[in-house]
Structure 1
Amino acid sequence: MKQYKLMQVALLAILLFGWAGCSQNEEEVPGNVRNGIVLNVTDTGIISNEPSTRTEDTGFVTTFTQGDQIGLFAVKDGAILDEINNMPFTFNGSSWSGKPILYDDRLAGVTFYAYYPYQPEMTGKTDLIGDDFFAPLAAGWELTTEQSDQKAYAIQDLMTSNATALIGENGNYSLSFQLTHRMSLVVVKLPSTRYIFTDAEGVAMPEETPYVAMPVDVAFYLDNVEEGTKISPYYDAKKDEYRLLRKPSSENQIIGHYNDKQCTLDTAEKMKEGKYKRFVVDGGYKEVTHHLQVGDYYYADGSVVSGNEAEPAKDNCIGIVCWVGNPMPSVLYKDVAGTPYTANNDALLRSHPNCVHGLVMSLYTETGKFSPALTQSIHDWFMTTSFTSSYVSVTGYYDANENNKNKPLHFLGYNNSEVLDLYYDTFKTDFECFQYQDDCESSFPSPSITTGWYVPSSGELVALQDKDNSLESKLNTKLIKVSDKTMDISATYWSSTERNNKNMYIVTYSKTAGSAGTGGVKTNTYTYRFFLGF
C-alpha cells in the first residue's frame, strides 16, 4: 500500500518582485510562515544595466497581494505530469493555497517550475528540450501601453523560476521558488523640488510633511508624440518614480512631457532581461530653501518663485502668495478666549493637514452673481444638521456659538466652501459661484498638494489690505508681471461669508484698509477672486 504525504508548496515571498538592484551577497530570509517551514534562500538580485552602478537599491521591493496567482508545472523523464500541469496556486495574503499535492514514489526525481502571473492557457508556452522551460512564454509575452494601475502593472510583470527540486526531510516536503523577471524595466525620475520655507530670519516654518512641488501635465509617448503612441507607466508616489515594463532588446524612444517641457529617453541597447534602466531628468529631486513672502509667484506644479524676480515666468503661473502662515482656524485663534475653533471642527486641518504655509490668490478674476435668494439661510439649515460638530457655520452675523462681532474677519474660506458643497449636495441649488470656481480650476489648475480653489471668506479678503496699501504695493506690483488683470481696488468682491438668506458679505477697499459689508445681495453682480491653501 502506498504512503501519501502532503507536500506543502512554499513560495519565496522575496521573489525579486520589486526589481531590487542589490548586491550578490547571500542573505538568510526569515521564513517562519504559517505552515512552520523555514526558508533559506539566496537573493541574486536585479541589478542596474549600468556596470558602474553596483550600489544596493531597495526602492522597488514589493510583495504579492491577496488574489495573486502563480502556475506550477512538474516534469519527469522529459514530460509534464498530467496532474501538475499548470496547477494554479492563489495567495491569500499570507500564504499560497491550491489543490493539495500528495507525495508518493511518482514524484521522486521530479523537477518543478513556477511562473507569475497565472495564465489559464499555457499550451505551447513551455519548452521541455532547451535550458529555459518558459522560453516560449517569455518570447510571446505581450505588454500593453496601459500600466498606470498597480494591478495592471503587476500582472504584466512576467516572472519565472528555474528548475526546482523537491526538498524533503523527516517526511515533510517543500518547494522553494525564486522567480526572476523576464521583462526589462524603464524607471523615470522627473524633476521635483522640496521647498524648505523660512521666515525673514531663516527659521524653517514648521511642517509635519515635506512640501514637494511635483511636475504637472505629465505624459509619455513611444517614438512619436501622437495620440496613438501614448503610454501610461505606473507611478510610484512613495518613490516619485515612473515605471514602464518593456520587452528585452526593445529600442523605442520614450518621449516625456511635463511642465510644458519635453525630454527624450533613448532605450536602444539598454533593455536587458531582468534589469532596469533609470533615467533622471533635469537632476530629478532637489531641495531648495525659500524665504516665503507675500507677493511670491505660485505655479501649477506647486513651485514658488520670489516676488523679487524681475521677469517671472508667465507660463503655468496660477496665483500670488497673499498671506504667509498657518491659515487653519484652530491654530490661528487657539489663544482667543472662548474660541469655538477646535481640531474637531477645523475642516482645513482635517482635509489638508499639510497646508500650513499660507494662502494664494488666483490670477483668475471674473464678475457674476453668487446664488439665487434662498428661502432659508445656509446658516439656519446648517444648524439643523449633524455637521455642526465637524464644521463652522458660514454666517458672519447670527451665530449662537459665537457672540463676538469679529467673525467676518476670520479665515474660514475653506470651511465655508465645504459647507456650501454640503448644502448643494442636499438641495442641488444652482450656486453661480461654483461655476466660476470650476472655471478658475479649469483655467489655472491647482496642484494636488493644495486645497484647490475656493471662494475666500470676508476675513481672508479683508486681510489683503493694510495701512501700507499692501494690496497695491505687494500684490498688484507682482500681478502685473504675470497677468493683465490686477486687483481692482475700486471693485466689490464676493466672500463666502453669509449675512442671511438673501445676502452675502462683500468686501471693498480703500488705500489703507479692507472692509466687510453685509449688503451683498446674492443675485447682484460683484467680482470674484479665488484662494487656495498650500
Structure 2
Amino acid sequence: MNMMICILKRLSVGVVMMVITIACSHEEEYVCEQMTQALSFRIADTGYQEEGKNLHSRAIDTDYQTRFSTGDACGLYVVTDNGVVGNNIKLLAERDAASGSVTWKSDVLLSVKWKDAVFFLYYPYQEDMKGKVADASLAAESDEAFFAPLIADWKPQDNQSTYAAYTASDLMTARGTVSATMSGEQQVSFSLKHRMALAVVELPVTTYRFTNYTDIPDYSASMPVSFSGNQKMYALTDGTLRLLVRPEEEDAPVLEGLCDDGMKKFSINTANITSGLYKTFKVDGGRKIQDYTLQMSDVLAHLGNHSWYVIPYEAYTDAPDKGNAIGVVIKVGRHNGDCSDYTQPLAAGGPLLSASTFHGYAAALNDLSAEQIEWGPSTVGLPNYPVDAQGNPQNNYNNETYKQDWSGYAYTQAIIKQAGGQEQLLVYPAVYRAVTAFENKYPAPVNTSGWFLPSIGQLWNVYSHTGVLGVVQNELSTFGHYWSSSVHYYQTECILTIRIQNSLGDVYGKYPTDIGLVRPVLAF
C-alpha cells in the first residue's frame, strides 16, 4: 500500500477539508479510496496589553483586539516530518451578518495526517513569502522561530491613517492546536500574538458625560493638534491615535507637533516598546471627563443610521461635526402643558418617539423657505387651544398664558386629520411645510416625534433662542410673522403667531388666509 501526500486545488465551502488517509492498490490501474474529515479553523487575536500592567492577567482589553471581517486574509503553513507540505495557503474570512460569527475559507484541499502536522499562521496575508520563514526543523519550537525572518524584516507603514493601512502593518503570528469539536470535526485553533508594538496617543479631549439622561451618548470635543513628520496615525472616535512601530528599537519614530492653538510644542518618543504591548502618551494632559447636563441651547445632531446625539453648546464652535446638526434644544424634559399623545406617529411608518425617555424639544435650524405662505382655509374649526378638566377653553393669548400652550404635536395631528390625511395637507400650507416638505429635505431621526408645527408656547421658546439658532445656522427673520398650530382660545377664527418687528417679538392673532413663515420643531 502506497501512502500519498499531495496538495490539491479545490474550492472549499465554509471549511478547509483535510484528507486523513489515501489508500491505493496497484492492479490494472490505481484505485484510491479517500477517507475525508472536515477541518475548520478558529482564529482569535490575543490583543495588545498595556505596558506596565500584569502580563499574566487573563483580562483582555477588547479595544485592542482585531475584529476580523469579510475579506481579511491569513497565511497558513502546514509542517510534517516531510517538511513544509502546506505553503502560504490563503485563508479568507467571511462574517455572517446575522450571527456575527466568522468562518475561514480556502481554495486548497490538504492531504496530510493531522496528528503529525504542525500548523503556523500569520496575518496579514502576503503574496510573496519567499525567504520569510525559517527551516521546517524549527517547527517544534514556536511560531516566533518559524516566522523569524518575516518578523525581522517587517516594517510598519508610515501612513497608517486608514483602518486598512493600520491593520496591514499589524503583523501577528500563531502556532495552532488541533482538537475535536462536539460535532466530531477537527478544528485548528490559533491565538494570534502581535509582533509589533503600539503607540497610543491620547489627544487633549473633553468628554461630556450627560448625567441627567444617561442614555444620551457621551460627546468628545478635541482640541486641534497638528503633527509634523511623515507618520500618519489611525484616528479613533474616542480622541486617540494609534501608530504601530517596531518593538524595542532605539530608532523608532519621534512624534512632534503643536497644540493649544500653536502655543505649545510636544514630542513623543515611541522607542523601546515591547512587542505585543501598547504604551499611552498624553498630549497636554490627554482626555478629561466632564459631567454635563442636557440644557437649552445644546445642539441636536443626527448620525448616519438616523439616530441622534447631542453636541453641548459650549463645544459647538470648534466641533468638527457641525454638519450633523439638525436643531437647537428649546426645552429639556416634557412640558407639563403638553397633552400630546406621542405614541401615534404623524404619518404611517414615520418617525416615532421612544416611550422610554422624553428628553426635550428642539427647533429646526432654518425656515426651509423665505416665502411667506397661508396657514390654511378661512374656516378653522379646530379646538387647538388648552382646555380645563371640563373641556372649557383656557386663555392662550395674553398675560403670558401662551407660555403654557405646548401641545403642538397634538394640534398638528388634529390638522392632518381634518385635512383628510397627510396626502391632503396642501390645503394647510403651513403644516404641509412643517411636516411633509421639511421632513423630505431634513429627515428627522427615527427615534423622535418627527417635525411638526409648534404650538404658540413652543414657538415662543423658539423665538427666545433665535440668537443661538443664529450661531448654529439661521436665526428667525427680523421682520414677519411665524405661524403656530395654536388657535386663539376666544377668537377661534384666528391663528396665533409670533410677530417680529426689528427683532422684537410678541404674540399676535392672524387670519389663516394671511401669510407667515414656518419654523418646525420636534420632540426627542
TM-score range, shorter chain: 0.5 to 0.7
Cα offsets for 1:338-393 (capped at 9, x unmatched) = x965796652537x99882332575xx899733999xxxxxxxxxxxxxxxxx999
Question: After the TM superposition, which residues 426-437 of structure 1 pair with which residues of structure 2 at under 5 Å, given as runs?
Answer: none
Question: What is the aligned partner in structure 2 of residue 132 from structure 1?
Answer: 145
101, 108, 115: which one aligns with 2:110:
101
User: Match for 1:347: what amino acid?
Assistant: P
Question: What is the aligned partner in structure 2 of residue 115 from structure 1?
Answer: 122
Question: What is the aligned partner in structure 1 of residue 280 from structure 2?
Answer: 278
CA distance in 2, matches of 1:493, 1:148: 50
Cα offsets for 1:296-352 (capped at 9, x unmatched) = 5659971256xxxxxx9976699864222259x9x85029xxx965796652537x9
Question: What is the aligned partner in structure 2 of residue 246 from structure 1?
Answer: 244
The CA deviation at 1:233 is 2.8
CA distance in 1, matches of 2:286, 2:199: 17
172, 175, 181: which one aligns with 2:194:
181
CA distance in 2, matches of 1:157, 1:418: 50
Given that 1:193 and 1:213 are in contact with CA atoms closer than 8 Å, whether structure 2 keeps it comes out as yes
Question: After the TM superposition, which residues 26-425 of structure 1 pair with which residues of structure 2 at under 5 Å, given as runs?
Answer: 46-51=48-53, 56-60=59-63, 61=65, 63-75=67-79, 80-81=84-85, 84-92=86-94, 93-98=101-106, 99-104=108-113, 111-128=118-135, 132-138=145-151, 139-143=153-157, 145-149=159-163, 153-162=166-175, 175-188=188-201, 190-197=205-212, 209-215=215-221, 222-223=227-228, 231-235=233-237, 240=238, 242=240, 244-248=242-246, 249=249, 250-253=252-255, 266-269=268-271, 271-279=273-281, 282=285, 284=287, 286=289, 288-290=291-293, 294=296, 296=297, 302-304=311-313, 321-326=329-334, 333-334=340-341, 341=345, 347=351, 349=353, 356-359=359-362, 369-370=370-371, 399-400=417-418, 419-420=436-437
The CA deviation at 1:160 is 0.9
SS of corresponding position for 1:419:
helix
Question: What is the aligned partner in structure 2 of residue 15 from structure 1?
Answer: 45
The CA deviation at 1:457 is 5.1
Given that 1:493 and 1:508 are in contact with CA atoms closer than 8 Å, whether structure 2 keeps it comes out as yes
State percent identity of aligned pairs: 18
The CA deviation at 1:252 is 3.4
Given that 1:47 and 1:54 are in contact with CA atoms closer than 8 Å, whether structure 2 keeps it comes out as no
Unaligned runs of 5+ residues in structure 1 are 20-45, 198-206, 306-311, 374-390, 425-433, 438-445, 498-503
SS of corresponding position for 2:311:
coil
CA distance in 2, matches of 1:260, 1:361: 36
Structure with bigger gyration radius = 2
CA distance in 2, matches of 1:520, 1:513: 15
CA RMSD for the aligned pairs?
A: 5.9
Pair 266,487 (structure 1): closer, same or farther in 2 beyond 3 Å: same
The CA deviation at 1:246 is 1.1
Pair 512,276 (structure 1): closer, same or farther in 2 beyond 3 Å: same
User: Match for 1:126: what amino acid?
Assistant: V
Unaligned runs of 5+ residues in structure 2 are 4-20, 23-34, 95-100, 139-143, 302-309, 375-408, 486-494
CA distance in 2, matches of 1:152, 1:181: 16
CA distance in 1, matches of 2:260, 2:522: 23
Given that 1:71 and 1:88 are in contact with CA atoms closer than 8 Å, whether structure 2 keeps it comes out as yes
The number of residue pairs the alignment matches comes to 404
Cα offsets for 1:204-224 (capped at 9, x unmatched) = xxx5723422326x8776535
User: Match for 1:192: what amino acid?
Assistant: T
CA distance in 1, matches of 2:290, 2:245: 35
Given that 1:76 and 1:109 are in contact with CA atoms closer than 8 Å, whether structure 2 keeps it comes out as yes
Given that 1:15 and 1:180 are in contact with CA atoms closer than 8 Å, whether structure 2 keeps it comes out as yes
The CA deviation at 1:194 is 1.2
Cα offsets for 1:182-211 (capped at 9, x unmatched) = 2333445543111123xxxxxxxxx57234
CA distance in 1, matches of 2:177, 2:453: 74
Pair 483,232 (structure 1): closer, same or farther in 2 beyond 3 Å: closer
TM-score, structure 1 as length reference: 0.55
Given that 2:73 and 2:124 are in contact with CA atoms closer than 8 Å, whether structure 1 keeps it comes out as yes
452, 473, 492: which one aligns with 2:480:
492
Given that 1:158 and 1:182 are in contact with CA atoms closer than 8 Å, whether structure 2 keeps it comes out as yes
SS of corresponding position for 1:349:
coil
Pair 152,96 (structure 1): closer, same or farther in 2 beyond 3 Å: same
Question: What is the aligned partner in structure 2 of residue 513 from structure 1?
Answer: 507
Given that 2:160 and 2:232 are in contact with CA atoms closer than 8 Å, whether structure 1 keeps it comes out as no
TM-score, structure 2 as length reference: 0.55
The CA deviation at 1:86 is 0.7
Given that 1:49 and 1:276 are in contact with CA atoms closer than 8 Å, whether structure 2 keeps it comes out as yes
Given that 2:122 and 2:171 are in contact with CA atoms closer than 8 Å, whether structure 1 keeps it comes out as yes
User: Match for 2:134: what amino acid?
Assistant: D
SS of corresponding position for 1:400:
helix
SS of corresponding position for 1:178:
strand
SS of corresponding position for 2:150:
helix
CA distance in 2, matches of 1:70, 1:395: 57
The CA deviation at 1:123 is 2.0
Pair 347,134 (structure 1): closer, same or farther in 2 beyond 3 Å: same
Pair 195,53 (structure 1): closer, same or farther in 2 beyond 3 Å: farther
Cα offsets for 1:102-135 (capped at 9, x unmatched) = 225xx88654321122223222322339863323
User: Match for 1:508: what amino acid?
Assistant: R
Pair 219,94 (structure 1): closer, same or farther in 2 beyond 3 Å: same
Given that 2:75 and 2:124 are in contact with CA atoms closer than 8 Å, whether structure 1 keeps it comes out as yes
The CA deviation at 1:79 is 5.3
CA distance in 1, matches of 2:316, 2:45: 48
Pair 74,370 (structure 1): closer, same or farther in 2 beyond 3 Å: same
SS of corresponding position for 1:124:
coil
Pair 232,483 (structure 1): closer, same or farther in 2 beyond 3 Å: closer
User: Match for 2:111: what amino acid?
Assistant: L
